[in-house]
Chain A
Amino acid sequence: MNNDVFTFLVGGKAGEGVKKAGSVASHIFSSMGRHVFQMDDYMSLIRGGHNFSVISTAHRWISSHYMKANLVVNFDKRSCETHVNDIAENGIMIFNSDEQELENGIGIPLTSEAEKYPMKNLMFGVGAVAILAATIGFEKEEMNQIIKDEYPRGIENNIEFASTIYDIVYPDCGNKFFLEKGDRERPIITGNEAISLGAIAGGLDVYYGYPMTPASTILHTLAREAENFGLAVVHAESEIAVINMAIGSAFTGARAMVGTSGGGFALMTEGLSLAGITEAPVLIILSQRPGPATGVPTYTEQADLAFALSAGHGDFLRIVASPTTVREAYYLTAEMLDLVWKFQTPGILLTEKHLSESSMTVEIDLEKSKWAEPKMYKDGNYKRYQDKDDGISPMLFPPSKKIIKWNSYEHDELGITTEDAKKISFMHDKRNKKLETLIDYLKEQQIVKIIRGENNSNIFTYGSTYMSVLEALRCGSLNPTTVAPIYLNPLPIWELKEFKNQDNIVIEQSSTGQFTKLLKEKAGLNVRNTIKKYDGRPFDPLELSMKIKEVLE
């Protein structure tokens, strides 16, 4: 079915280097010129529990991990229990025989071998890499080089340990899997790295954040790169501070971005509304995890869509868009950062843990993303909120001899507070004009992904679920038309019109079907069925393909 895909799964306790082993495996595959998708599943704790990484690789573009793995390496008992059903036909499972005895699978004494070394806790990951190297037929020298590069602490011990493990597994399953080499090596990045880089390519100057999974690694990435790119990156005291600082920075002409998840975004909503009335260009990255409230911090969901579309009190334009792939996250972040400046209104880039924290091989055309100067004041009296046909007032930044007033109260064109009936409705009308301008602009852009199929049914999806859907269709050899709007506000109804009365199926990760509701209400779409998943886990392509098949029939 999906025999063009090879999947490696490694599981163990937090602190045992599971994720690191996963990313080393990904790099092994990418260095072979193959495409890679890595999903890390981890719990909200620092030591113990159960974590695992699944990496699927193929000779062609691959957009999801598969839960049925060809090679499963379990560091502990709990991993064996969790992943009994995750072994593919003809797959093998390697377990830690110091923890238990099992009939199926190959036991190796991981713990007792690791205990021979001072940093025994860091050895398991090295062991997993050695197992992978042996099973895919790497020579020892090749493996040693990888260990040297990836585990630079205690190199000699690591190599000795890897060699021991390699020798143990080789007789049973050495060279068991043949992985064909691909055309060229590609970088592997996470969605959050793509967002961070895209922002920089879109002219980012300042970033504010308050740690919250799954958005934190944007803060970490940008903090690490701040000096390199001349950015100011600040971990502030709360999300309320974060959004208000961003507005302050925007006032000076700085391109400001913030990032958070649902709870932090809820705290930002008053500031979002401030950005609406002051016409402050700020970009908010909202990376969703299951809610409500604290929900399930390290897992994925798409249940903040309705909230994002209407967040913040009062009438104002919020641009909302959601990237469908890691590569697109790069382009879209740059584009959104530019759009919020073009239209002087807040934007929300809506994504999920599944995109933020999964990694994949990407090919990015760096020349594609640009930033442009916003509409600037030229001459005459300066009025911050000057009425214009397109609703967009010219900008000016301090220091300037002209007076520039941004105001949270309703205001006149100068930015002075008003309670005057005429001026209130005038200013609403001025701001509202921006929606029409934006729609005209977006009509010229490609903002819906449509892949035409042969089936009579269409599949609608968005965000990272798009990647799961594409992979499911491929592995199930299904061929319906897929439609994924990238922009969710304004929703490109002009592009969706043709599908209105056709047979439509929606696939999303919300228990109440928020995306389905949006499509019905805004686009008048006839929806026959919605396939939902809301257990915090992304779709598995095989499972999803079976569900799609059922529904299509």
Chain B
Amino acid sequence: MEDLKTGAEITWCPGCGNFGIFTAIRNAIPILEEKGIKRENVVITAGIGCHAKIFDYLNLSGIYGLHGRNCSNSEGIKIANPDLKVINFSGDANGLAEGLTHTMFAAKRNQDITFILHNNSVYALTTGQFSPLAEKGWKGPSTPRGSYEEPFNPMSLMIEAGATFVARSFAGDIKHLTDIMVQGVEHEGFSFIEVLQPAVPYHKWAEYRERVEYLEKEPETYFEAIKAAKEKHKFTIGVFYRTTRPVYHKELYDDHNPVTQKISREIRLDKIRKFLSDK
């Protein structure tokens, strides 16, 4: 587990929920290795925000992308080399404000990547503005009289968009979170994992601990899943939806791999010659 740390100075606030996520992912990787997923095949991406600092701390290869856009980096990695397992770290603003379209489309395509949403319900790094998941009435520097918008429901949103593994976990329950992460990475298709992640300047851990509940039974159908996502309160953790659907890269080119099975120059030139002779 220690070798999964780069040693870079950690600048999260003491008590930040991101520590829980950092621990859980370092627990999950060795478990995945035992299950046959090679560590060097795991690649990470992060957006910009407090959540994203995990990129500097985790000793794994990947891309520290732009705010809101790392999901597209993740997709580009998977499309070019489907042998890689991509874990995509995102904040709630990163993935559901600036990057909403990319998140929705990655789900729609059933891209075979694991999307971890650090839900602290604020723009933490930029000093606590209301986020797409903040309660209506959230008072932040950009909404001094309280925000005017209702939050998204990430579970139903992602089920609707086409994600094939949709779950919620809690940064304060490392065991649960580790287990969900392992399942998410193992799942073939778009795995969306929302993690309740308290940000200490803005939230109290005690409130989370009081309210977190386990989903008693994993829904079995699409409609049961939507129902659970709509009815259960947003501190309900567990797997809301799991299904199988062809993944994007297989739809695109089956079992081909553009990087490892690149067509040689000679063959390309022959085919270009043929193309030109038909013109």
User: Among residues 231 to 279 in chain B, which have CB atoms less than 8 Å away from a CB atom of chain A?
Assistant: 249, 252-253, 256, 258-259, 261-263, 265, 268-269, 271-273, 275-277, 279
Q: Are A237 and B102 in contact (CB under 8 A)?
A: yes
Name the prevailing secondary structure of the A interface residues: mixed
* Closest Cβ neighbor of B261 among chain A residues: A230
Question: Any chain B CB within 8 A of the CB of A123?
Answer: no
Q: Which of B77-85, B199-207, B212-220 contacts A (4 or more CB under 8 A)?
A: B77-85
- CB of B30 to closest CB in A, whole Å: 15
Proximity bits, A227-240, B CB within 8 Å = 1, else 0 = 11111101011101
Do A366 and B273 form a contact, CB below 8 Å, given A231-B258, A404-B61, A406-B63?
yes
C-alpha spacing A9/B152, complex, angstroms: 57
A249–B55 Cα distance when bound, in Å, is: 18
- Residue A121 interfacial (CB < 8 Å): no
Chain B contacts for A236, CB-based, 8 A: 72, 105
Which parts of A5-27 form the interface with B (CB within 8 Å)? none
16 of the cross-chain contacts (CB-CB < 8 Å) are A205-B259, A206-B76, A230-B261, A231-B258, A237-B101, A244-B65, A247-B65, A247-B76, A250-B80, A251-B62, A251-B77, A256-B76, A274-B65, A397-B259, A417-B53, A417-B56
Minimum Cβ distance to chain A for residue B156 (Å)? 21
Report if B69 contacts A (CB, 8 A): yes
A205 and B277 alpha carbons, distance in the complex (Å): 23
Q: With A241-B105, A252-B84 in contact, do A200 and B272 touch (Cβ < 8 Å)?
A: yes
Q: A189 and B276: CB pair below 8 A?
A: yes
Given A226-B253, A240-B69, A248-B80, 19 more contacts at CB 8 Å?
A197-B272, A200-B272, A201-B265, A205-B80, A227-B253, A236-B105, A237-B101, A240-B72, A244-B70, A244-B76, A248-B75, A251-B73, A252-B81, A253-B80, A403-B59, A404-B62, A405-B62, A406-B64, A407-B63
Chain A residues closer than 8 Å to B268, beta-carbon distance: 200-201, 229
B66 lies within 8 A of A274 (CB): yes
- Whether a CB of chain B sits under 8 angstroms from the CB of A371 is yes
- Are A228 and B271 closer than 8 Å at their CB atoms? yes
B158 CB, min distance to chain A CBs, angstroms: 16
Kindly supply a per-residue 1/0 record for chain A positions 338-374, scoring 1 wherever the CB is within 8 Å of any chain B CB and 0 otherwise. 0000000000000000000000000010110011000
Cβ-based interface call for B131 (8 A): no
Distance, CA A226 to CA B79, complexed state (A): 13
**CB–CB A241/B79 < 8 A:** no
Q: Knowing A234-B252, A274-B66 touch, does A197 contact B73 (C-beta < 8 A)?
A: no
Interface size class of B (residues with CB under 8 A): 35 or more
Cβ contacts A167-194/B at 8 Å (1 or 0 each): 0000000000000000000011100010
The reply on B221 being an interface residue by CB < 8 A is no
Residues on B with C-beta less than 8 A from A409 are: 64
Q: How far is the CB of A55 from chain B (nearest CB, A)?
A: 15
Give B contacts to A, CB under 8 Å: 6, 8, 38, 40-41, 43, 45, 48, 53, 55-56, 59-66, 69-70, 72-81, 83-84, 101-102, 105, 249, 252-253, 256, 258-259, 261-263, 265, 268-269, 271-273, 275-277, 279
A367 to B272, CA, bound (A): 11
Closest A residue to B276 by beta carbon equals A187
List of A residues within 8 angstroms of B72 by Cβ: 236, 240-245, 248
| A401 interface residue (CB < 8 Å to B) | yes
Chain A residues near B276 (CB, 8 Å)? 187, 189, 197, 364
B44 nearest in chain A by CB position: A405
B77 touches A248 (CB 8 A): yes
* Cβ contacts under 8 Å, A98 to chain B: none
| In the complex, chain B residues whose CB is within 8 Å of the CB of A403 | 6, 59-61
Q: How far is the CB of B114 from chain A (nearest CB, A)?
A: 15
Q: A200-B272, A249-B79 are contacts. A230–B63 as well, Cβ < 8 Å? A: no
Residues of B contacting A278 with CB < 8 Å? 63
Contact check, A238 vs B101: say whether CB atoms are below 8 A apart: yes
Given the contacts A201-B272, A366-B273, A399 and B41 also touching, CB distance less than 8 Å: yes
Q: Give min CB distance, B261 to chain A, whole Å.
A: 6
- Check if B73 sits within 8 Å of A247, measured CB to CB: yes
Cβ distance B279 to chain A, nearest Cβ, rounded Å? 4
A251 to B66: give the CA distance in the assembly, Å.
15
Set of chain A residues within 8 Å of B59, measured between Cβ atoms: 403
- CB B11 to nearest CB in A, in angstroms, measures 9
Chain B residue, CB-CB nearest to A189: B279
CA distance A252 to B129 in the complex (A): 36
- 0/1 string, A197-211, CB within 8 A of B gives 1: 100110101101000
Q: How far is the CB of B38 from chain A (nearest CB, A)?
A: 7
Looking at chain B's contact residues, the main secondary structure is helix
Taken together as a complex, chains A and B put the C-alpha atoms of A236 and B252 apart, in Å, by 13
A400 to B83, CA, bound (A): 12
Given the known interface contacts A226-B253, A406-B62, the answer about A248 and B56 at a Cβ–Cβ threshold of 8 Å is no
A256 CA / B102 CA spacing, docked (Å)? 19
**Please, which residue of chain B has its CB at the minimum distance from the CB of A361?**
B279
Say whether, besides A232-B252, A399-B38, A405-B55, A416 and B6 are in contact (CB < 8 Å).
yes
What residues of B have a CB within 8 angstroms of the CB of A203 in the complex? 262, 265
In the bound complex, do residue A271 and residue B66 qualify as a contact, i.e. CB atoms below 8 Å apart?
A: yes
Q: Does A254 contact B (CB under 8 A)?
A: yes
List residues of chain A with CB within 8 A of the CB of B6. 403, 414, 416
**Chain A contacts of B79 at CB under 8 A?**
206, 232, 234, 245, 248-249
In the complex, what distance in Å separates the CA atom of A416 from the CA atom of B59?
Answer: 10
Nearest CB of chain B from residue A361's CB, rounded to whole Å: 9
Known: A230-B258, A366-B273, A416-B56. A249 touches B76 (CB 8 A): yes
**A41, chain B: closest CB distance, angstroms:** 22
Q: Report chain A residues within 8 Å CB of B261.
A: 230
Chain B residues contacting A271 (CB-CB under 8 Å) are 66, 69
> Residues of B contacting A380 with CB < 8 Å?
none
Question: Once bound together, how far apart are the Cα atoms of A402 and B41, in whole Å?
Answer: 11
Residues of chain B within 8 A (CB-CB) of A415 are: 64
- Known: A405-B62, A417-B56. Is A371-B265 also a contact (CB below 8 A)? yes
A270 to B258, CA, bound (A): 26
- Within the complex, the shortest CB–CB distance from A451 to chain B, in Å, comes to 27
| Neighbouring B residues of A228 by C-beta, 8 Å | 271
* Residue A398, interface by CB 8 Å: yes
Q: How far is the CB of A449 from chain B (nearest CB, A)?
A: 23
Instruction: Decide if B105 touches A237 in the complex (CB within 8 Å).
Output: yes
Interchain CB contact under 8 A, B101 and A244: no
Chain A: minimal CB distance from B24 (Å): 20
Among the listed A245, A400, A402, which residue makes an inter-chain contact with B75, where contact means beta carbons less than 8 Å apart? A245
